[in-house]
Amino acid sequence: EANAGILGLQPYQAGKPIEELARELGLDPQKIIKLASNENPLGPSPRIIATLEAAVTEVSRYPDGNGFALKQALAEHLDVLPEQITLGNGSNDVLELIARTYLNPNTAAMYSQHAFAVYPLATQACGAQHQCIPAIHWGHDLEAMAQAITEHTRIVFIANPNNPTGTWLSEQQIHSFLAQVPASVIVVLDEAYFEYVEESLYPNGLSLLQQYPNLIVTRTFSKAYGLAGLRVGYSVSSVEIADLLNRVRQPFNVNIMAQVCAQEALADEAYLQQSRALNRAGLIQLEQEIRALGLEYIPSVGNFLCIDFKQDALPIYQALLREGVIVRPVAAYQMPHHLRVSVGTEAENQGFIDALTRVLE
Ligand code: PMP
């Protein structure tokens, strides 16, 4: 029989694939609008396409298992040591490495209600105990989380900003939380959407690493850098923690294409700026249109927005699918009245709003 933790697992529900819906509706996939996975609507930059083409001849070789060149580039970019970096097959991979390094059935991991689904999944897969702390205003209640730490707590996962709610925590809030956490507890600050956030009080987790050696900051190339399909993310931590994570990871966990494209993406400042500008404009557009429809949403600093329909949102999700628009139900996050929509291009956002208007008529 499988491990008890595995028997209790519910698989991660990803956004519905475009091809699948196109086939169901008998539509050209080009006609489908997918705003379901917080992907970058810009698509890959020409520099990434050229990098992929140049790397094609290398695929008969294994990638560099240590990711030497990418770690060097990241270390320079982030002003940290290469030895502090752990690369992953997406930041999901790094989150799992952390769970496998620190959790077992006699320990517990803590996370917030409505927080990113991989925290409970990784915890459950290790057979560890769950400490799910009720949210406050849809975000993390750090005071309650600090109070709830027990001698069993090994990891606290914090998403800043959080997916799917888009809520964020200030430098002062993170600081006072870290100051209350025993040094034996690992705090994971998941900054998957870091590059999008513009609030002046939003902290750069890396600036806290020196003061808090139990902190691990995770980031990704999947969102603002536009490389979701290549699967590459990373953590920055103390050298000691990175050494432990390195023992657990698969020998070649980040593929050749991902490594070279991530380096190129780091250098492609123009693409990043364009992504951020498009997201800022798209968020404002969506917020205005949603308000005009008389609907409420949770204010978000990410590249997505949760809309509150004040009723079971699943029929609305399904009606949108019939219109060729894929968004994300978040009932599994204990948010059955909300749907999460990712920020798309101006045309995609408008297509979503038009479909939603028809559905709500
Ligand atoms: N953390 C958060 C908060 C996320 O929303 C996501 C993407 N859904 C991830 C981590 C993982 O992304 P990836 O594995 O593509 O880096």
CATH number for 172: 3.40.640.10
360 Cα to the center of ligand 1, angstroms: 31
Answer yes or no: do 68 and 193 share one domain.
Answer: yes
* pLDDT given for residue 5 in this prediction: 82
> pTM of the prediction?
0.96
Answer yes or no: do 105 and 178 share one domain.
Answer: yes
What interhelical angle do 239-248 and 91-102 show, nearest 10?
90
Residue 134 corresponds to which tokens in the numbers above? 């009720």
| Domain total of the chain | 2
Answer yes or no: do 172 and 229 share one domain.
Answer: yes
92 Cα to the center of ligand 1, angstroms: 6
Domain boundary among 268, 283, 304: 268
Task: Report which ligand 1 atom has the smallest distance to the Cα of 115.
Answer: 3
Angstrom CA distances, 194 to 169, 222, 226, stand at 12, 12, 13
Answer yes or no: do 278 and 227 share one domain.
Answer: no
Give residues (CB < 6 A) around ligand 1. Answer: 38, 90-92, 116, 159, 163, 190, 192, 220, 222, 228, 233
Answer yes or no: do 140 and 13 share one domain.
Answer: no
ipTM, interface predicted TM-score of the complex: 0.99
* pLDDT given for residue 8 in this prediction: 82
Answer yes or no: do 220 and 320 share one domain.
Answer: no
Mutate to test the pocket of ligand 1, among 40, 169, 190 (most ligand atoms within 8 A of CB): 190
Give the model confidence (pLDDT) of 9-32 as tens digits.
Answer: 888 888 899 999 999 999 999 999
Give the pLDDT mean for 74-101.
98
pLDDT at position 98 over 90: yes
Read off the pLDDT band of 232 (50, 70, 90). Answer: very high
* pLDDT given for residue 11 in this prediction: 84
229 Cα to the center of ligand 1, angstroms: 12
Answer yes or no: do 93 and 114 share one domain.
Answer: yes
Task: Report which ligand 1 atom has the smallest distance to the Cα of 162.
Answer: 3
* pLDDT given for residue 108 in this prediction: 98
* pLDDT given for residue 174 in this prediction: 97
Read off the pLDDT band of 2 (50, 70, 90). Answer: confident
* pLDDT given for residue 95 in this prediction: 98
Read off the pLDDT band of 350 (50, 70, 90). Answer: very high
Domain boundary among 204, 236, 268: 268
Answer yes or no: do 291 and 202 share one domain.
Answer: no
* pLDDT given for residue 9 in this prediction: 86
Answer yes or no: do 56 and 198 share one domain.
Answer: yes
Answer yes or no: do 59 and 167 share one domain.
Answer: yes
Residue 152: give the domain boundaries. Answer: 46-268
Mutate to test the pocket of ligand 1, among 92, 98, 160, 219 (most ligand atoms within 8 A of CB): 92
15 Cα to the center of ligand 1, angstroms: 13
197 Cα to the center of ligand 1, angstroms: 15
CA angle 352, 43, 359 (to 5 degrees): 10
Domain boundary among 242, 268, 294: 268
Give the model confidence (pLDDT) of 295-337 as tens digits.
Answer: 999 999 999 999 999 999 999 999 999 999 999 999 999 999 9
Mean of the per-residue pLDDT values for the chain? 96
Read off the pLDDT band of 1 (50, 70, 90). Answer: confident
Mutate to test the pocket of ligand 1, among 220, 223, 235 (most ligand atoms within 8 A of CB): 220
Indicate which CATH number applies to the domain containing 337. Answer: 3.90.1150.10
Give the pLDDT mean for 48-65.
96
Answer yes or no: do 253 and 117 share one domain.
Answer: yes
Answer yes or no: do 119 and 195 share one domain.
Answer: yes
